[in-house]
Amino acid sequence: MSLVGRALILIALACAVYAIVAALYARRRGGEPWQRSAERGVYAVFASVTGAVIVFETALLGNDFSFAFVAEYSSRDLPLGYKLTSLWASQAGSLLLWLWLFSGMASLAVWLNRRRNRELMPIVVAVLMSIGTFFAMLLTFVTSPFETVIAEADGKGLNPLLQNDYMVAHPPTLYVGYVGLSIPFAFAVAALVTRRLDTGWIVSTRRWTVVSWLFLGFGILLGARWAYHELGWGGYWFWDPVENAALMPWLVATAFLHSIMVQERRGMLKVWNMLLVGLSFTLALFGTFLTRSGIITSIHAFGESTLGPFFLGFILVIVVGTLVLLFTRLDDLKSAHTLESYISREAVFLYNNLLLVGLAFAVFWGTMFPVLSEVATGQRITVGPPFFDQVALPIGVALLALTGLGPLIPWRRASRDRMVRALTVPLAVTVAGGIALLVFTDAWNSFWGGVVFTTCVFVTACIAGEFVRGVKVRHAAGGVSWPGALGSLINRNRRRYGGYIVHLGVVVLFVGLTGSSAFTTARDVNLAQGDSTTVAGYRFTSESFSRTANSHVRTVTLTMGVDDPSGKRIATLTPAKNLYLASLQPSTEVSLKSLPTRDLYVALIGLDQRGTAQLSIYVNPLVSWIWFSGLLIVIGSVIAVWPVRGRVRPITPARDEKPTSVETPTA
């Protein structure tokens, strides 16, 4: 089985190299037959890697402990679901998952473009398969998932922290986002090589970018929810280096998604967009590098590794190659128009871009500062969450405000009268909302908390105003019901109103982040059976404990009653402590009660023989809003990218310019 797996990866490597050669030959002189052959090479890579994944999973399910990764990350008593997903518990296994998802995405991109973008496709295939070749070489020559050892009777078992449903979904979701960013990058390089630098490559890859952005963001949320449920410290985000590694490409991809609207509408920011698409994919690779280089300390990283230099070299090749290609095409990337006013929609998009890229740079600097300081001074200086919070908070508030302002400001320039009309109602609602927050809530007990909540009121008013105006027009013109007018409005302008729903999700996210970070109440206590403590008005009572065991895990569970400030019993929580027998590693099982306005969260730190429990108790306001924001963002993104069959809608130009492109349904 080991030889079969190694052979399949070697076949994938050979097919990737062949696809590169065939695609470049097709562009130079071979024509369409050679291009079709190159594309079949892409499909062959995916088929070979799929076979390798099947071999990997067969070894896991069959408890074949002659495979090093099975002996290290699985055991006979490991539940079936965790056996299947321990594929990405090891470094080599996670790289195999990366290559499998990547080759699948590349195959889908090739298949969807089998009849269009034929001038671009040779370079697209060559770029994608160059990336595939790099990962296949790593799995062939550096860190094979099919290494063998002398078989033991049982394996060490999966890390207890990974035995969680959210960790089952988090890595593959995140990886789909990472690998998906390779498709827009490949099309951008192809556009530069062929000098087809109109908006065609953007139209062909917009949905790829949105879907990749969505999966990357949703993967980040899944990771945050895993940390919240599994680590027992009451939080969900600690500015961990690997958390930051996923955040950086998401921020830059967000900037790219906004910036391409300016290029489509006004023919501007062409160089900037090329830089953004290259940077987003480079940062995706950089995130993969961080977890495997051994240069940072993180609960998510794979520890010491020999892969770092290979990844760093590959990243440098991509950066240098892209910049050289970009500089040779500067004359072809001149903007059709210039910025006419600092108060215009394109200016707002530019401010949004600068803030997003600035935040990404700040996160990069804070993440890498310990490494850079060690290189420069020999002493590793750690940058903690306070640095990131101080930088991210004002930038985040500015980005949030621009989210509301953008739709209200016209293209080219905004007159004073128009701005007054557009802002009168949102500002009035904001003032009323700010006063209500001050009088009826504790929001202004924290200055930044009050600022963020009030800004959220402003943005919500702006978004609601856009929907209200559109629905009124549809209702008056079509004679349809109000719900029908809303449905028609969204259906006929999916990209625009889907984006507004995404922005509404961002507002909800800011509410949840601010409430849970600025207004949390926490207490560490020791409680004997029958003892109680009060946290933020809620009474927590230790009632009993129990011990259970099976062949996989031993568990001690504490039962706690929770009463609200009126004395009414609202929850029974059961925090637990596990000891996994295969690895002899402990883990904490958090118990929480989610309410619309707050979470009641208890982690069992320890329990002595007499039943005295050491507990960490948190009352976290508005955490559930963070998870709800993910649902809104998914709904809005799906609406925005959903294809409109049978209808071709041109990009609407500004009044003084000609259309530059046609938007066609793409996947």
Which amino acid, 555?
Answer: T
146 pLDDT more than 90: yes
The packing angle between helices 345-377 and 241-266, to 10°, is: 150
265 pLDDT above the threshold of 80: yes
pLDDT at residue 657, as a whole number = 39
Stated pTM of the model: 0.92
**Residue 384 pLDDT greater than 90, yes or no:** no
* Predicted local confidence at residue 652, as pLDDT: 40
Lowest mean pLDDT among 2-6, 64-68, 379-383: 379-383
Confidence of residue 585 (pLDDT cuts 50, 70, 90): confident
Q: What is the DSSP string of 496-534?
A: HHHHHHHHHHHHHHHHHHHHHHHS-EEEEEEE-TT-EEE
For range 294-309, the mean pLDDT? 62
Q: Which of 27-41, 429-443, 642-656 has the lowest mean pLDDT?
A: 642-656
User: What mean pLDDT, rounded, does the chain reach?
Assistant: 89
Please list, in sequence order, all residues whose beta carbon lies within 8 angstroms of the beta carbon of residue 338, skipping any fewer than 6 positions away. Answer: 268
Q: Is the pLDDT of residue 403 over 90?
A: yes
Q: Binning pLDDT at 50, 70 and 90, where does residue 296 land?
A: low
609 in Cβ contact with 600 (< 8 Å): no
pLDDT at 649 over 60: no
Confidence of residue 656 (pLDDT cuts 50, 70, 90): very low
Beta bridge partners of 558: 545
pLDDT-derived band at 480, boundaries 50, 70, 90: confident
Residue 216 and residue 221: Cα distance in Å, rounded?
Answer: 9
What does the alpha-carbon distance between residue 35 and residue 219 come to, in Å, rounded to a whole number?
35
For the chain, the 3-state helix, strand and coil shares in percent, each to the nearest 5, are 65, 10, 25
Query: Does residue 661 register a pLDDT over 50?
Result: no
pLDDT band at 484 (very low <50, low <70, confident <90, very high): confident
Separation of alpha carbons 500 and 127, rounded Å: 34
Q: What is the pLDDT of residues 420-455, one digit of tens each?
A: 888 999 999 999 999 999 999 888 999 999 999 999
Q: What is the pLDDT of residues 543-576, one digit of tens each?
A: 998 989 888 889 999 999 999 999 999 999 999 9
The secondary structure element, H or E, covering residue 577 is: strand 576-580
> Mean pLDDT, to the nearest integer, of 41-53?
97
Phi, psi of 588, deg, nearest 5: -105, 130
pLDDT band at 86 (very low <50, low <70, confident <90, very high): confident
Least confidently predicted of 207-216, 382-391, 397-406:
382-391
What percentage of the chain reaches a pLDDT higher than 70? 95
- In this structure, the number of other CB atoms found within 10 A of the CB of residue 66 comes to 15
Confidence of residue 302 (pLDDT cuts 50, 70, 90): low
pLDDT at 300 over 70: no
Residue 648 has what pLDDT?
42
> Does pLDDT of 665 surpass 80?
no
> In this predicted structure, what is the pLDDT of residue 667?
33
- Confidence check: pLDDT of 651 > 50: no
305 falls in which pLDDT band (50, 70, 90)? low
Mean pLDDT, residues 178-199 = 94
89 band by pLDDT with thresholds 50, 70 and 90: confident
Residue 252: CB partners within 8 Å, gap ≥ 6?
A: 276, 279, 280, 283, 356, 357, 360
Is 367 in contact with 245 (CB distance < 8 Å)?
yes
pLDDT band of residue 249 (cuts 50, 70, 90) is very high
d(CA 239, CA 247) in angstroms, rounded, equals 10
From residue 97, alpha-carbon distances to 16, 132, 443 in Å are: 17, 12, 44
Mean pLDDT of 263-269: 87
pLDDT at 418: 85
219-247 tens-digit pLDDT: 999 999 999 998 889 999 989 888 899 99
**Mean pLDDT in residue range 529-535:** 94
* The pLDDT of residue 153 is above 90: no
Comparing C-alpha atoms, which of 495, 437, 431, 428 is closest to residue 465?
428
Q: What are the domain boundaries of the chain?
A: 1-163, 415-518+624-645, 521-621
Whether the CA torsion 122, 124, 130, 132 is positive or negative: it is negative
Place 294 in a pLDDT band, splitting at 50, 70 and 90.
low
* 200-230 helix and 182-194 helix, angle to the nearest 10 degrees: 160
Instruction: State the Cα angle at 406 between 400 and 408, rounded to 5°.
Output: 120
Tell me how long the chain is: 667
